Structure 1
Amino acid sequence: MKLTVKGVERALKKPGRYRDGRGLLLQVNSATNASWVFRYERGGRERWLGLGPLSLLSLAEARDKAHEARKLLFNGIDPMEQRKAEKAAKAIEPSAALSFEEAARQYFDQHQQKWRNPKHRAQFLSTLEQYAFPLIGRVAISQIDTPRVIAVLEQRHANYPDQRLWDAIPETANRLRGRIEQVLDWATVRGHRTGDNSARWKGHLDNVLPPRGSIRKVKHHPALAYAQIPDFMAELRRREGIAARALEFLILTAAPTGAVIGARRDEVDFEQKVWTVPPDRAETKISVDQPRRVPLSDRAMEILKGLPIEDGNPYLFIGGKAGSGISNMAMAELMKDLAWPSTTPDRLATVHGFRSSFKDWVSETTNFPNHVSEAALWHAVADKVEAAYRRGDLFNKRRRLMVAWAQYCTALPLASAKVVPMRGAR
């Protein structure tokens, strides 16, 4: 049974350990001496990670810290070893204590002019921000070794929770590896580290990771049957929190995960009900150097208007840390918690699978043309001749489609429908 604020107060009256669930415990030695600890297993050994005293950390803050520790474990990193590495980095002299994130940003500032394409220039930092900084950003550049680089490349992708980053999105993962390699080379020349480059491919990482060409294509994402969407959305609306609202917004817009978690407030025209995504933002699946206009339904606008706003934070769906956006794992973890079965046997529905649900609904229940639904899914026109002549973005047709989709998503769930018997004829 989870702890409550009142439960914590009662626990202070009696020494002992009080469980909150999923490894988080409150350890009470006396009424004035209590602290939060996180219990986990690593290599068959039980480990206890101190999170901080109760006098400084509330129940909610302790849960956030435990959540961060679980994320590290999920990506193959021992939270206790991570803490030791961070302490070691602080103990190193200032000239060598430059963190990986600081080194990457300095490298970018000194080299950004070499990227002529603004989209490519923006992608250099954005991929590091999404995949590398959360795991090794605070580690000293001198301490970035091969196991840490491998941990970044083998972390689980939000849309592919059962696959490594290297297997799920090999092209992006290889670019990420190359960018880490460039930063490490720069740091070596600048005197911030010594030794071999831990991200080098030839004669190094090629011994533990398969070449991109040998990786099988990712299978389709397990999707929810479109007939279940109204029931699912009804349950989702009852859920509180940023992740629930982000997921609902994602379903209503049929947008890619990366576009939603990176969505910014200044991209939305609240009067015209339009979300405009710039082409230079990574993980948006925009294949042309033009902004992507997304029509917003009334329910999508209602979600955005109800979101909390943090001073200095540009993101629509704000994250747990000041100034940050929602984690790329937040919606995936919510889907695991909801645990709805997909159309794939023995597989749960995934976040990205809702785009398939949308496509199936359009194809099987509406008269909207295929090219309109493809445009709504941000897919490029496959035929080069057709693409050359089609210059518009079908915005008005897409708006009608997304309004119809929102009406379907917010329809009365089948589980809530009532059959009213008719009176017999007399």
Structure 2
Amino acid sequence: MPRKARELSALEVRRLTGPGRHAVGGADGLFLRVTQAGSRSWVLRYPTGEKRLSASGKPFAVYRDVGLGSYPNTSLANARKQAEAIREKLAKGVDPLIEKKAAKQARRAAELRRLSFAQAVAAVVKIKQAEASNAKHAGQWATTLATYAVPALGTMSVADIELAHVKQALEPIWQDKPTTAARVRQRIETVLAWATAHGHRTGPNPAAWKGNLDAVLPAPSKITKKAHHRAMPIDAMPEFWKRLCGRDDMPAKALAFAILTGSRSGEALGARWQEFDLAGATWTIPPERMKGRREHRVPLAPVAVELLRSLPQGDEGLVFTRDKGRKLADRAMTDLLAAMGEKERATVHGFRSTLRDWMSERTATPHDVA
């Protein structure tokens, strides 16, 4: 511990200009440190309580320095006041440097917890864009959250979001758009789970359904209004098919192919030549293009093989294209139905239902096969 120093006056301190550490008294361990460049600052030196051995084997006490500000910005009186306050803490077993480090860590933790919901959404959407098998799915994540969640939760810290806030965001669409609302809830849950995993919040996820929101909101399955895709009546198909086959445009050929194979519009429009074995009359759709993420093999009827052979063929590339080999627009077949005056009677997806009805009602196909 430093020897008791004589208490210097303010004038005497002002005259301390030689490089080194000068004891000023008035508080044990208080020094004015002067650098070679002439800058001056206050330092309080105190023992840590730790003992070490010198090179000669003699024990010595370990001291620690804590800065109290520059001189003369920090006056002698102020420096002594600070030094006495620290001495009082040391007497209670509180190390000021350790306390300062803990306070810095606490501030850092608080900064992490102040991450806004909108910032968390941006981070999660970026991850989903990298994971998504198609850009449309990633876009849906960004759009639904921006439309239904960010307006209510966007500026809030993720650490402050509770069940009441999530409920407030979902209630306006829960009854009118139950399917969308259920997806929004799941996506809010994912965003908050990401925030928890990255240290931005703690505690249960307020967007979780089971044992949480299910106590304050009706189950989506109880309020969802199932809207069936409009399906062409079986008896209307021959006349419609005749008109469809009379067209020579690519959307018509794509729709005819989708009808013949019972495929979804995305599966048909994304079909590539390398997926087909025309000699074996099979179409193998890879897992990444299937809704269920499983490879799907489709047997091709002779008329479907004939339709494919009528198209410009290649070893690779899309089967149904528009100018310069580009993929047909997602709405190409829907727009075709509208142009043919069938918008109110049928949808592209509805032809799957028509095929299923035909197999059940007009053929002896076993149920499981159908």
Q: TM-score range by the shorter chain?
A: 0.3 to 0.5
Q: Which has the higher contact order (CA 8 A, sep 6+)?
A: 1
**Which protein is bigger by CA-based radius of gyration?**
2
